[in-house]
Structure 1
């Protein structure tokens, strides 16, 4: 799954550390999400969207892998 987390974070001018602290996760988690190596839980995805004041689909872009039903 692709995401706009880095873009949104940079628009606000906050560091990965600041975002991690605000969300209650580690900086390593933010790095992994930004690089697409880790898909956050649904709860964390909603927290991220709420933090930026956007819809969840404005942060995370589902690319499809053939499992769409």
Structure 2
């Protein structure tokens, strides 16, 4: 799942993935994978994003803190 909030914030600052990576002290490949949702960042990387964007981690990474793809929310129906 693409993390559109991260992409939006980065673009609002006029930063490329490479520039953001340099600012955060991580690789551009890692930034790309985080934005695409291919990998979940570790605690230290989350904190780098929090400090850089001055946003709460739950706003930056809602997929990690909220169970938005919870299959228990799907109601089961009997077709008998």
Structure-1-length-normalised TM-score: 0.83
> Which structure: larger Rg?
2
Q: Which runs of 5+ in 1 are unaligned?
A: none
Higher strand share: 1
Q: Across the two proteins, how many residue pairs are aligned to each other?
A: 66
Measured in 2, the distance between the counterparts of 1:2 and 1:31 equals 10
**Equivalent residue number for residue 29 of structure 1:** 30
Higher relative contact order at CA 8 Å, sep ≥6: structure 1 or structure 2?
1
1:51 lines up with 2:52 in the alignment: yes
1:2 Cα shift? 5.8
Measured in 1, the distance between the counterparts of 2:7 and 2:33 equals 11
Q: Return structure 1 stretches of 4+ with deviation > 2 angstroms.
A: none
**Equivalent residue number for residue 7 of structure 1:** 8
**Equivalent residue number for residue 61 of structure 1:** 62
RMSD value, Cα: 1.7
**Contact 1:2–1:60 at 8 Å: present in 2 too?**
no
